[in-house]
Structure formats: structure tokens, C-alpha cells
Structure 1
């Protein structure tokens, strides 16, 4: 179905894809694996003609989909064989209404009205969109928008569906909805799916095969074979390597069948305690904090206190009020009522420059913080604005993600690299209260690990760090405390281990296999081992 024959692509003399050859058969669910910046988005976009037609660069070799060469064709010319869903579906919508969005492609293809209605209705039923068919796109949750984007790509009846991190902005429940819909497409309609995703723990169980993109080369194989040698792998695979399980297993079900001896060995060890985290004096207080939008109460009378040294994960389903709460804490967001105090001051009463040194926030769209023409200029500007030593921002960026071209424009970076740059700019100011909204989107496991380490160090230095996230594996590494929101109200607040262990939705993979333990590193330390990735 999808055939790459000695494909090479790059800019100037730097190949992103280097002699890539592979085949994905019809009706296959294939997972594309690789580190941040490895070129996964480039590979995906080459299948529907976005690369090199809209990106520039030089390409050699050939790509066929369903027997047709896609070299030199425009995405519109390939809509009947390749459906493409980008990282941010909202940015790709061309209408304001669900049904109009689904019908748009059919209109461009000149389908008869009766055929158009039939096809839209079939897609609505297939993807479970009947309850939102008449709604506006702005009123949908992130998971619903993602399914609409998939539906819009399917209207033309493509043989292959290509998706770039479709669950990166979704809570665990919404991610399962999207992945289950893709699973039905593969098994019920025979659609070939190629999907790139950093949160491999979510996707591995659905995939039939995998591709590893590393150093411009591609290795193809079963999911287990690829993840066993990949520089990025979900916790279940890393735990399997540590325990010496054959395979290693790639699903919780498989791992639990091997885990009895490991559970017995850990039963005599003491589970790590969150109480060891040093907590300093109180820094943040809110009293009856309320945020309203027209017709919606996003934050409903939240009372929250946090101290220096705390590492707080703010969790909850999409639309639960997490982002609205963060912006209200930072002082830029609206408030309908209540108070916020950070270190004795209300951030909303400060000018922007002073506010940033008191409460720094990295938004869910990190490009909103970036304005310079190059990465180097962005870092230099952050150093100057924060009064930091020259090179401070660049060093933070190097710690977060490797091999970022200092001369590149921030808009030309990958999603993960751009996020890392925004994080570095914010961290340069070292505000006592650091707020991050979905900071792990686009980061691979090493990048998330490096981020967790840096945030822990900031907390140990006396900062209070609050992170809104759907990434349960990152929470297991980073958080000492978890606050769960639902409909704008706090429904759970306590030690991270206690909160996530009690929730099937928010429990990390390791806890599901060896209850009480959250990360592979904890297991390795308890067993007296070395590096968890050996």
C-alpha cells in the first residue's frame, strides 16, 4: 500500500531521510517511532506531497501509495488515496461547523449532493460523531476535534491515513476514543494507517507493525522488535528489559503475565515515599477563584495553596478548566471572582515584565512566546530580558533537547524543539512560581526525562512548579503532588503516588504491572541495578 524506494530528502547537504526503503501492506496499523527531531513529520508529509512541494528541499527516490507515484503531486491531487491529519487539527479546519467541515472535501471533489450526504453520514456513524454533528468546532473537546479531523480526511475515501501525533493534546480517555476509532478503520474498512506518536505507551497495543526512524535510516519490524532496539521506548518495554523478560512485552497484559517473580522481589522492598520531598514556605494562595466565559464556568471557586519546593501536576479531562486556572494564577487570564496571591503579591496587578519574574507561564502553544528570527537571537533576548549570564538560555535548551540549529527560525523547528525553546526562554527568568501548560507535547521520553530533572532541580532550589498535563508517565517522574480538576472544581488533591495509584485512568504503566511503584527507575533502584535503559 505505502512503498518507499531509496528515498532521500534534505535541506542543503543535511539529509533528513537517507536512502529510506520500506513497505506497509494494505490494512496495516503501523507505528512510526523516533526521537524528537528525527524527521518523523517530514516522512509523513512526503506521503501526501507536502514535502517537498511546500517545504522546499531536495528529494530523490520514489514513493508509491496504492500503486500510484506521489512524487511531484500536490496534496489535493492525492486526497483520494492519502488522508493526512496534522498535529494541530484546529489549525487545519476551514469552516466553523462540524458537518460543513466534513462536507468540505466532498464539495472540492465535486461530488453530487446525494453522494456527499451519504458519505458524511457514514463517517459520522463510523467515528461516533452523531452527537456533535450540528455543533460548532470551537465548542468541541480536543478529542472530538481530532475525530472530526480524521473524518474530514476520510471523506475522499483514501486508501491510507497518515497521522502526526494525534493524541498529543488529549487526556487518556479522549486518546483511547481516537485510537479505537483508528482501530475500527483498519479492521472494518481495511484502511492503512501510519501514525507517529511520542506517547508510545498509548499506541503500541493498537499497532500491527512499526518503523524506527533514526539517523535518517528506517528499520521495519514488529512492534516488539522495533521498540527493543529503539532509543525511545515506553516504560513497559524498559521494565521488560530490566527484568529480562523475553520479547520484551509491549502491552500491560503481556507484562503482567511475566511479572509475578518481579512483584515477589519487590514485595520485600520499601516503596519510595513522596514525603521525602523538601517543602518550603507557602508561596501561592487562591481563595474562591472563579473564571467565567460566556455560558461556561471554567473554574469554579477553587481554593488552592502551594509551597516552595512543591512539584504539582494539574490533571483532568480536556475541558476541565486546567488552562483557565493556570492563566488566572499567572495574572494575565480573566477572573470572575476570588483572589490570587503569589509571594504576597497579586500577579494581575503587576506590569508584564514584573509579572514574568513572579509567575512564568509556558502556554500550550509555545510559539506564542517566540518572536525572534533565529534560535540564537531568541536565547540572547531571553538572557538580556532576564538579566541572566550570556549562554544561560542556550544551555537550558541543550539540556532539554539535542541538536537544535542555533541559526534556524523558531517556526521551522519541530513541535518538540519549539516547545523546548519556549521552555528555555521561560526558565531563564527563574520565576518563583513556574506554570507550564502541557509542556511534554512533542517531546520524546529522553526529552521528558530531562524536563522532569530540570523541574525537580528548580523545585529543590525553592521554586514552586505547577504543570498541567495529560501525560501520566511524566507525572510519575515529576510530581510530588497531584490535583485533579473536573468541571472547574478540585475533586482530588494529595500525594502523587496516592492519587495516581487509585485511578485506573491516571496510573502509569509500571504501577499497573507492579502496584505501588511508579517508574522504571524506582524499580531499578530497589533491585540494586544500574541504568534503567541498559
Structure 2
């Protein structure tokens, strides 16, 4: 296997006249696990793609400076030229697969490089063992869980024996356990094989503990250093770092273990105090408030089953009642049936048996136009709802489809997010803007039930906080909001109630604070450091009211 690190020397890149990288220089040694940090839209994906030649070979733009991997010049070469040197895994591994079976996918790159069949078989077997894929090596890729697909994508990138592995948000679609499995596999690659790993991820709370160093990309400039030092000055940081800043702990701590060692004084300060009950309206309306809406249920689902060909039962007899103004987080491991349940509730997805009513009406029995007035669903890929060439055309189409007065969708969009160019193509928007547009399109028909499937993918911490606040305001206005999510930190900010699925069945349903605090998998970072508390905002508010110092 090749050996060597990654070096940028005075790299500048601009696309369509817009500077993205500005005189970037850093040097990652061989066998380094480096975390790339930055706000949404900072240019992290651009930097990653520059390492294997995707930028500028396939994107256009102008680049200056020098990039080397294991001492070999990268600029001027295509990803195919660098396949034996740089392995790249994008945000959606399924979109990058070129075959339909695990073992064939693992062998594909080696075949293209002309590796001897005997050597190829040996290498594939080693990667299967290294990444824990032995049980699925003969299976179809479509039948794998998201975590298994992610490991296959990593394995396919490793078959050529690269010196460096580049990953763009590898845990964004994974539940906490699957994310740990993938990150642990990467950790073994670094320590056992000396592979240099450069990884970008918005869910920093998952990755920081594994990284040896970090790069902060902000305003086109890069700051490099130890993980704690970089996160201390980063505009985006995981809750445990924010808690350390609030409490004045040195470092600040990056891991739960480090934070616990500093937390004794803060625990004493908070002893006997309760997390604040958020106001009904206002900027903190999205925070967990452990209440159930009064009155008759808006949503009634009884005995819902969803079956797929091949004897696969995705939803198994789910009963769910929900009222207006509830904020429900639907959680569970990959493959637990969350998305299938959302589509069954909305009425478009197949329901094998059982009953679903929204305000007394079965959405599955209604025509699409009527169905939109009962339940709106924003899928995991928000762009799947967007078809027009401009934001304005998208809004006008939503007004027509929802039989709403002209300008309704545009007004909803303006209320959700500021400064969206109505002449921009929807796919040119940022992740947060595109999600807001899809949400506005959905809300134009004024459905009382709002369903969202993994809406925080690609969003940094400020964008997720803004989304939680928007959804909170919608709940306060009378909508019932149900969000399927793997993001435990978003759940802590948003949910009043948590429903956990496993193998298509409800295994827990109750107040958010009670459910997540009792779950090692779904507890947010603050709850692991300060039992009974979910967010840094809660701690800050109570300390502000009491006048106590955070560090005790």
C-alpha cells in the first residue's frame, strides 16, 4: 500500500468568479486522522474534491497553487489517474456504486486498474475482514443498511491501496450506532495501515473524539491544529465544546470523558434547579417542553403494517396518536421503518393493513391535491420536491397546486428564511435554503400534519437551531410536526415527545426528556455530562437567571 500524507501549498480556487479557497496551506502527515470543520457553504466539499482531482477537472473554475499526496502532484490529473493514490467517498454512497453486489463493487476498482486476479481476491478478502463485511459480501447493495453501504463504499475506495482516504459527511445518513461502526473502521485504517484520512462532517459530536487534528475552513482560509484548539475558535462546535466555553473549562474539552472530569462544580451549581419551561412563543419555543397537546388527536394510526416484496415487513402494527402543536421526533436505527411509516401516514406510501386518519379523513383515500391539505411530507432529499427552474416558478407552482392565493408560498418562504434570490435555480441554493423552499412548498397547502424525513442532513449547528425554531413556531401555530431523525442534538432542541422504532415496532413513546435521557444511543452530549439537562441553552438560561458563575 502506498504511504504518504496530504499537502496544500498556497492553493487558491474560484468558481464562477466566486473565491472558495484563498491561499490555503497545510500539511497532513502519513497516518493522520484529520477532521475538516466549517459552516454550511464554507467550501469543505470543494477542498475535499480538490485532493482527488474532481476539482477543477469536473467542476470548472480556476485553481492556483500545489497539492500533493504521498509526494505526487495532484493538479492536472483526474480521479481515475489518482485512483491508486486517493480514495474518495461522497455524501451518498449508493449514488457512487457501479455494480449491484457487494463483492463485485469491492473488486471493480481493482479490475479497472488491472490488478492480478489472485492479488485482487486477497485484497478484497482483507478489506471484507477489516471492515466487518463478511456477513454481507454476497448480498445486493440495495438490500444493505445505510451503515453497511457506507462501509462498502469505504472498502471500494480502499481496494486500490490508496495512501489517502477522503470522506464527505460519511455519517450524515447513519444512526448513532452505525456511525460509531464506520468511524471505528476508519480509526483502524489509520492506526493499523497508516492511511491518511481527511473527513468533513457537520455532526462534530460524533467525530471529534476520533480525530488526531483538525482544519477549520472559514472565509476561504484554513486554520490547522489540535482538535480542541481548532474547535475553540470555530464558529461551529459540538455541544460539549459550547458547554466548556460557557463553563470556562480549559481546553475546551472535546470528549464526554474530558467534560465529565471538569463538570463537578457545574453539577453542584445546578443541583436542585430544573431546566426552564420554554415560552409558548418566542425564540426558544422549539425547546423540549415535555407536554402533550390537549384535545382530540389530529392523527390516529392504528395497526399500521407496511410490507415490501420478498417478505420484508418494514412497519409492524404501529399505533400512534398525535395532537395539534405536538413536536414529535421519530427515532431508531437505520432500517427500523421510520421513512416507511412517514409515507404511510402521509397516504402516498403503501399501507398493507391498518387505519390512518388525519382529522377524521384517510389520506390514502384522497386524491393527491386533497391529500396535500391533510399531510405534507418533506423527504430526506428535499430537492426531490423541487422541479421548476427558478425559486419564483417553484413558489408559483405551489400556489397553483395548493389552490392558494398568489404569493402565498413566497410569503411562507420569506418567513422561513431571508434573502433567497427568487431567480436562483433551486438546486443552486444552500442546503438550508433548499430545505426551507421545500418546506414552504409543502406548507402552501396548509396541511395540519407536517412530516419531515431527516431534515438536518448537510446543516451545521446554527442552521439546525434555526430549523428547530421554525418548526417550533409552526407547532405553536397549530401544526402537528413529526420529524424522523438520527440527529440526537437536533432532537434535544426540537422535540417534546420521542417515539423510537425497532424492527418496525414502537418500543418507546414518551416525553423527550424522559426517553432520550434513558437511552445511551439517543442521549445528547449535555445529558451525558449533566444528567437531566438536554441543551447548552437550558444551562445558560438557568445560570443567567440565578446569577451563578458557570464554572461553579
TM-score under structure 1 length normalisation: 0.95
8 Å contact 1:200–1:233 — kept in the other structure?
yes
Q: 2:341 aligns with which of 302, 310, 325?
A: 325
Q: CA deviation at 1:423?
A: 2.9
Query: In the TM superposition, what is the alpha-carbon distance from 1:34 to its structure 2 partner?
Result: 0.8
Distance 2:398 2:64 in 1: 40
> How many residue pairs were aligned?
531
SS at 1:75's partner residue? coil
Aligned equivalents of 2:52 and 2:87: distance in 1?
A: 8
Aligned partner (choices 259, 264, 271) of residue 263 of structure 2: 259
1:419 shift after superposition: 3.4
* Gap change, CA 1:464 and 1:15, over 3 Å in 2: same
Distance 2:235 2:445 in 1: 32
1:392 positional shift: 5.0
The answer to whether residue 137 in structure 2 is matched with residue 133 in structure 1 is yes
Query: Secondary structure at the residue paired with 1:237?
Result: helix
Separation in 1, partners of 2:419, 2:35? 24
Aligned residue in 1 for 2:305: 290
User: After superposition, where does 1:66-465 map in structure 2 within 5 Å?
Assistant: 66-272=70-276, 274-275=289-290, 279-294=294-309, 295-386=311-402, 387=404, 390=407, 392-393=409-410, 396=413, 399-400=416-417, 406-413=422-429, 415=431, 417-465=433-481
Aligned position for 2:540: 524
TM-score for both structures, normalised by structure 2: 0.92
SS of residue in 1 equivalent to 2:172 = coil
- Which moves more between the two structures, 390-399 or 251-260? 390-399
Q: Tell me, in whole angstroms, the C-alpha distance in 1 between the residues paired with 2:411 and 2:207.
A: 33
How far residue 408 of structure 1 moved from its aligned partner, in angstroms, is 3.9
| Residue 482 (structure 2) aligned to one of 466, 478, 481 | 466
Report the CA distance shift for 1:462/1:523 in structure 2 as closer, same or farther (over 3 A): same
Q: 1:57-93 deviations in whole A, cap 9, x for unaligned?
A: 1212221111111112110000111100000000000
In the TM superposition, residue 399 of structure 1 has moved relative to its aligned partner by: 4.4
Q: Which residue pairs with 1:505 in the alignment?
A: 521
Cα distance in 1, alignment partners of residues 401 and 236 from structure 2: 35
How many Å separate the matches in 2 of 1:364 and 1:84?
23
Comparing 144-153 with 39-48, greater Cα deviation is found at: 39-48
Contact 2:300 2:321 in 1 (8 A): yes
**Distance across 2 between alignment mates of 1:379 and 1:221:** 45
- Quick one: structure 1 residues 185 and 300, their matched pair in 2 at CA, closer, same or farther if it must change by over 3 Å? same
Partner of 1:14: 18
Superposed CA offset, 1:154-209 (max 9, x none): 01110000000000000000000000000000000010000000000000000111
Please list the CA deviations of residues 375-413 of structure 1 after superposition, one character each: whole Å capped at 9, or x if unmatched: 34334433554426638547636845x776554433344
Q: Secondary structure at the residue paired with 1:525?
A: helix
CA distance in 2 between counterparts of 1:37 and 1:397 reads 20
Secondary structure of 1:282's aligned partner: coil
Deviations 1:411-434 (A, max 9, x none): 344555543432343244442100
Question: 1:397–1:420: 8 Å Cα contact kept in structure 2?
Answer: no
**C-alpha distance in 1 between matches for 2:133 and 2:419:** 41
Shift of 1:328: 0.3
Cα distance 1:256–1:348, how it changes in 2: closer, same or farther (>3 A)? same
Aligned mates of 2:457, 2:318 — CA distance in 1: 26
Alignment-derived partner of residue 31 in structure 1: 35
Farther-moved stretch of structure 1 (13-22 vs 312-321) = 13-22
Q: In the alignment, is the contact (CA less than 8 A) between 1:280 and 1:309 conserved in 2? A: no
Q: How far apart are the structure 2 equivalents of 1:413 and 1:446?
A: 17
1:21 Cα shift?
1.4
Task: Give the secondary-structure state (helix, strand or coil) at the position aligned to 2:129.
Answer: helix
Q: Identify if the C-alpha distance between structure 1 residues 82 and 416 changes in structure 2 by more than 3 Å, giving closer, same or farther.
A: farther
Structure 1 equivalent of residue 283 of structure 2? none
In 2: Cα distance, 1:280 partner to 1:231 partner: 42
Change (3 A) 1:77 1:146: same
**Contact 1:98–1:133 under 8 Å retained in 2:** yes
User: Aligned equivalents of 1:492 and 1:6: distance in 2?
Assistant: 53
521-530 or 281-290, larger mean C-alpha shift = 521-530
Please report how far the alpha carbon of residue 370 of structure 1 lies from its aligned counterpart in structure 2 after TM superposition.
Answer: 1.1
